[in-house]
Structures are given as C-alpha cells and as structure tokens.
Structure 1
C-alpha cells in the first residue's frame, strides 16, 4: 500500500509523544503488550486483507512481542505492518519477526509464499515436501504429467529411520493441471546461498555465524525451493512485492526497508548491532505438520 509509510510515521509519532519515552520500546518492562497493540490496532486492521481475522492476528502478534523487547518502536511497527500488509501471521511459519539487536525485521517463510499463491483464483493446491534417503520416489521429467513424479514417504519409519533429507520439491495444481515439479537438492541450495545471499556473504566476511543460512539452513532451503515455484504459477503484484521484501531483508547492509518503496528505512545502528539474537530463526516445518500445503502425495 502506498500509504504504509505514513501509517508507520503516525504510529511511532504517538509513542514519541509519551512522557519520558526512550528510543527503545521496552515492552517486557511495561508489561502491557496487549494495551500497546490495542492502542495501535487501527494501523494493523487497516492494512490487513479482509479475509484475515483481526483478533487472531492481534493474538499472534502479542505472542511475539516479548522477543522484541529491545527493539525500537519504529522497527516493530514496520515489521508488524509488513505482516499485516501481506496478511501473513508472524508465527514463525508464514512469517517471522527477527530481532537484530534494536531492529525488528520482517522475514517471510516458505509457508508464507504458499499462502500468497493460494490467493490466486487459478491455483487449486500447492504442495511442498522433503524426500529422505529411504523414501520411495521417482522423477522422470520427460514423462507426461502427473506420471513424471512420484513420492511415497516411508510412513512405517520415523524421520530418523527414513534417513537424511536429500531433496526438497514443490508443485501446484492449477485449473485441474499440475505444474512443473520444482526440485532442489542440498548442493543446489548451497549454490543459491553462495550466489545470491548478501547476508551470508557478509557473515562469512566478518567471520560470524549469524546468517539464517548458517543457523537455519533447512528453512532457507525450503524457501528457496518454493520461491522457484513462483516462476511457474500464476503470479500477482502482492507475490512480487513479497519477493522484494524478502530480498531486502537478506541485504543487511542496505538502506531500503522491509517493503521496497513503501516503508521507512531502517534506523541507524552501531557496530555489531545487526546480528540476530540467539535462537531467533524458526526452523523449517516438516510437511504435514500443520502448515497449509494442499494436495495429497502422488
């Protein structure tokens, strides 16, 4: 939305008018998370798509605020409004809000991409999956769809017994027809990381271990696979904007903020203040663990 920048300014201006308000919103110390959210509720509800339940979004946002106790008002508002703008819950599954010292940062997850794909009227279902070493599967790209791909997980075995993950895949059903199957093995995911991730390159240069590619490789592997699916399904302006926001979040040295061209820039930080707090990144969820995936295994 073009007026999202104005919403952030208006919301943070209200906080700045409070007496003895510091530059950091110490939400945990104030112990009034819900009151703070309710006082800014109109900004979120105006940004939320109509199909998203406002009370549920507020409840999810409330649950993440304690993790952002050292983050600034502006970055918290910007990240929550980004979630609201795309209609994604900041639950660590559709999206996450990661604290980088005093800056809260919006990060979409692979389930968030799938959620936005579902909103296109031509998309029937979207499926993402992991293939493990002992699973039964076959992929023959030259065979007619849907006989070109088959995956039968070993449901009689635990994940550990099934072996290590060797491949991620994603596909969609569109108007009764299955899309191309996108596959991504570990080596290909590492190549994407090395070629495109500015955050990972920065972590390597600075000899740090704070890039999500280092702390939550599977989550980034899954998201990279689903992002490739975007190229073969009906797209939308909203989905394109989510990709831009995702790229901006990865570029930790960039001045642009979370939604390119619509949200205020990140605030100035001192040396060493751009590292995620420990345990900040959620892990990639296993297929069938509650995320909206759609479709049955073939």
Structure 2
C-alpha cells in the first residue's frame, strides 16, 4: 500500500470536522472564486479547527452547521479562521445550549470585498487613540491627518475610528468617522457581543478589529458598487439556507437544527445599505447524513 493510499484511507475514516472539510474539498473548490487557491483555503479551514480545541468541539456539536458556515465563506471567497471570516463558538438553544460554530465576516473581509468591486485603488481604515493627534474638518480637508508617535510609549485608550477609500481616479470617497459612543452603540446591536457565547465574540477577543469593522461597514455604503458585493453575502447565506446540496456524492451534511435563536450579529451580517437586527434564521430541512 502506497503512502498516498494510506493517507487517503485515513482521510476517509476521519469523520471529525477537519476530516469532513477535506472530504468535501471538491465541493468547496467549486464554490470558491477562481482567484482563490482551493488547497490553501481548505488548509486554513482545517487548521483553524484543529488548532483550537474549543472550536473543534463546537464544530462536532453539529458538523452540518459548521460546513454550512464554511460554504458562506467559500462563496464570498474569504479565508475562514482569519480576520476576513471569523469562526466563533456560539451557544445554541436548539442544541441544548451547547456551542456550535458561527461564521462572522471580519473587517479585512469587508475591505477585500470593496477592493474586489474594482472601483478603489486603496482603502484606509484606522483606529484613533487618546494620545494620537487627529485633525479633520468637513468641507475643508479632503482626508484626515492622523499623527501617531509610534515610539513614544502608550498611545492611550481607543477613542475613535475612521475609514475612507481612494478611488482609481484619485478622488477621495466620503470619510467615515466614528467616536467611541457610536462604536459602542453598534456593539450594543451585536448579539454576539452579549449573552450566550459572548466570551468568544470578536467584540470581546479582538475589540480593535471590531472597531475597524464598524467603520469599514459604514464606508462600504459610500464606495461605488461595494454594496453589490456585500448584498452577495446575504444572497449566499440565503442560498445555502434554502438549497438541497447536490452535484457531489455524498452531499454536505445538513445542520441538525437552527442556528442559535439570538440570530446573526446585527453589525456583522446583512445588507450594507441599512443597519438592522436580523430576523430569525431560516430552519434547515432534515436530510440523511452521509455514510460513515
């Protein structure tokens, strides 16, 4: 028996989350945009789960939910387990308050989608801290002036965040500026930042990244054509939630029950054109699991 045969046999027997991702690599490859390397994408997904015991256990609770969240990442062409697309454990009432996996698009994912729209040459998203110098006058300044003493020690607490894009013709987009209260208001709308599983929310594990994401989402309202790509996120989730998988044998296993009843993160998911709290998630039909 060759080394490859042994490896393949082991992969087939591995019905854990990582092994299942590898088993359905061809289906994920078919969903990924052409510019994304499918082998690397799968390695990232497998590494994110196998490198975190909490995530691996959450994925085992309902592998169908986990694989569905990866399908959303694949359709968007975002890297799972990174700041493009977080994989987070969330407690689910339908699963006896056990942790399952929820995917959340991160700020780097939003920036990637803005770039992919093709209208911008650069995107700037930065946080401002108490000891920084920040100057911007609406109607006078084209772009903010943000001076940071990188070698002066503590920059202080987070006090604000801003974002803008430079269009391909050199023009500057609308400049988005949010103070601490505005960011906290956005956090208050986020289901993942409170309640069951809040300890594992990016709001509580990587707060600065979520400040950046809040500004990036607001910027995407003003950048030409970026809204189309953000709406694709919602369409992808709706398609995944309603379709009966096929085209490959065996099909991806389906979730055993709905996602957590608290719904998706209000600031993390949904159309970029409006801020809202998502409705209850669409139930998944029960289908037969693949043979072991």
Same fold (TM over 0.5): yes
Give, in angstroms, the shift of residue 119 of structure 1: 0.5
Aligned to 1:68: 56
1:154 counterpart (149, 158, 164): 149
1:268 aligns with 2:257: yes
1:173 counterpart (159, 166, 191): 166
In the alignment, structure 2 segments of 5+ residues that lack a partner are 1-11, 91-97, 243-253, 263-292
**Structure ranking higher on relative contact order (CA contacts 8 Å, 6+ apart):** 1
Return the alpha-carbon distance in structure 1 between the equivalents of residues 99 and 131 of structure 2. 44
Give, in angstroms, the shift of residue 144 of structure 1: 4.3
Aligned to 1:80: 70
Give, in angstroms, the shift of residue 274 of structure 1: 7.4
Return the alpha-carbon distance in structure 2 between the equivalents of residues 207 and 107 of structure 1. 14
Return the alpha-carbon distance in structure 1 between the equivalents of residues 56 and 199 of structure 2. 21
Return the alpha-carbon distance in structure 1 between the equivalents of residues 64 and 133 of structure 2. 49
1:223 aligns with 2:213: yes
2:115 counterpart (103, 115, 118): 118
Over 3 Å counting, the alpha-carbon distance change for 1:36 and 1:208 in structure 2 is closer
Return the alpha-carbon distance in structure 2 between the equivalents of residues 170 and 208 of structure 1. 27
1:191 counterpart (185, 190, 193): 185
Give, in angstroms, the shift of residue 73 of structure 1: 2.2
Return the alpha-carbon distance in structure 2 between the equivalents of residues 164 and 102 of structure 1. 32
Return the alpha-carbon distance in structure 2 between the equivalents of residues 237 and 267 of structure 1. 32
Where do 1:6-155 residues align within 5 Å? 26-27=16-17, 33=18, 35-66=19-50, 67-69=55-57, 70-100=60-90, 101-146=98-143, 149-155=144-150
When normalised by structure 2's length, the TM-score is 0.67
Give, in angstroms, the shift of residue 266 of structure 1: 5.7
In the alignment, structure 1 segments of 5+ residues that lack a partner are 1-17, 28-32, 246-257, 276-298
- Could you give the per-residue CA deviations for residues 54-73 of structure 1, whole angstroms, max 9, x where no partner exists? 12111111112223233322
Over 3 Å counting, the alpha-carbon distance change for 1:227 and 1:125 in structure 2 is same
Over 3 Å counting, the alpha-carbon distance change for 1:261 and 1:39 in structure 2 is closer
Return the alpha-carbon distance in structure 1 between the equivalents of residues 112 and 102 of structure 2. 20
Contact 2:89 2:197 in 1 (8 A): no
- Secondary structure at 2:166's aligned position in 1? strand
- Could you give the per-residue CA deviations for residues 205-259 of structure 1, whole angstroms, max 9, x where no partner exists? x8976655455543332211111001110224331233x48xxxxxxxxxxxx81
Return the alpha-carbon distance in structure 2 between the equivalents of residues 109 and 212 of structure 1. 9
Give, in angstroms, the shift of residue 112 of structure 1: 0.4
Q: How many residues align?
A: 225
Give, in angstroms, the shift of residue 164 of structure 1: 1.3
Cα RMSD after superposing both structures: 3.1
Give, in angstroms, the shift of residue 185 of structure 1: 1.5
